[in-house]
Amino acid sequence: MPTSHIPRAIEGAEMDKTTTRLRASLNSTLVMKLYDQLNALPIPMFVGQRMKLPCISFKLGHLSASRYESGHVFRAKADALGVVEIRTTEDLSRLDSLILVHPWVDFLLDRQPVGSIIQTTPEENTDNPSFMLGDLSSLPLPSNTTSVAKRTRGAWIAARLGLPFGARPRDAASLLSPSPVSLTDRRTQAFRLVARLRQPFGALLFTQTRQNVEEYKRVAAGSRVIVHVKEDTPLNVLIDNARMLDVL
């Protein structure tokens, strides 16, 4: 269901309480499988003129439409999200297929990326996970921009997705290879991932460019779509939809 705002990320005692409850109610094997599936996804990258975006995708069902003073209101159902509402000036009814994606994989995994994309308007908290897009500092630039300084890499990617951009430096130690993690620690991280995944998040909206071709372009980039994964969503649904999206 849509919600009006994205709350601050749960941490500390609240996170401990939530993960304890999840341990008692969820299949730990499936939780670990979801964690490993997302952890295995590469960071965002460019291949030619296409972007490979790690995400969890949710296919939208049939759209119902109504008008408001400056555009359209579309409603559709997604299996893991319930009814989704999209307010936009674009006419989405002309599109054959739509998917919402949860692209904030680094946040879900509690990674500490360098040079994150963030929203910096006064109304938004800069720690808000829905405006972060992973480690951009080491991504390759397209061939025609190799002379551009490293600090523009994130801005270029942000422009491709229509996202606001702001660079926030992180500790350089986060660039080093991670230390080995014990099975107990991995299991804890996996349940923390599920806790974060159930929080409301800012979704991106994409449409398939051609039938039977797995490539997508972003639509309704000016619309803020806030949704959350329903608690009764089977973990297998999320595992099956963790993917790299081929974005034009």
Residue showing tokens 């790299």: 244
94-103, 121-130, 194-203, 237-246: range with lowest mean pLDDT: 121-130
Residue 144 within any structural domain of the chain: yes
Phi, psi of 218 (to 5 degrees): -80, 140
d(CA 145, CA 187): 42
Residue 42 within any structural domain of the chain: yes
d(CA 20, CA 202): 26
Structural domain boundaries enclosing 112: 12-247
Residue 6 within any structural domain of the chain: no
Count structural domains, the chain.
Answer: 1
Residue 1 within any structural domain of the chain: no
**Distance from CA of residue 98 to its chain's centroid?**
16
Task: Tell me the three-class secondary structure of 103-135, residue by residue.
Answer: CCHHHHCCCCCCCEECCCCCCCCCCCHHHCCCC
Cβ–Cβ under 8 Å, residues 100 and 1:
no
Mean pLDDT of the chain: 76
d(CA 200, CA 3): 7
pLDDT for 146: 37
137-141, 153-157, 198-202: range with lowest mean pLDDT: 137-141
Q: Please state, as a whole number, how many other Cβ atoms lie within 10 Å of the Cβ of residue 175.
A: 13
> Mean pLDDT throughout 75-94?
93
pTM score, two decimals?
A: 0.72
> Mean pLDDT throughout 152-176?
42
> Mean pLDDT throughout 6-33?
90
In this prediction, residue 17 has a pLDDT band, given cuts at 50, 70 and 90, of: very high
Residue 2 within any structural domain of the chain: no
In this prediction, residue 132 has a pLDDT band, given cuts at 50, 70 and 90, of: very low
Residue 5 within any structural domain of the chain: no
pLDDT for 170: 36
Residue 123 within any structural domain of the chain: yes
Residue 7 within any structural domain of the chain: no
**Which residues are CB-neighbours of 83 under 8 A, at least 6 positions away?**
1, 2, 75, 76, 77
Using one digit for the tens of pLDDT, what is the confidence trace for 181-221? Answer: 576 789 999 999 999 999 999 999 999 998 877 899 999 99
| Rounded percentage of the chain residues whose pLDDT exceeds 90 | 52
In angstroms, the Cα distances linking 101 to 80, 149, 160, 204, 237 are 12, 30, 16, 5, 14
d(CA 63, CA 135): 35
Does the structure show a pLDDT above 60 at 118? no
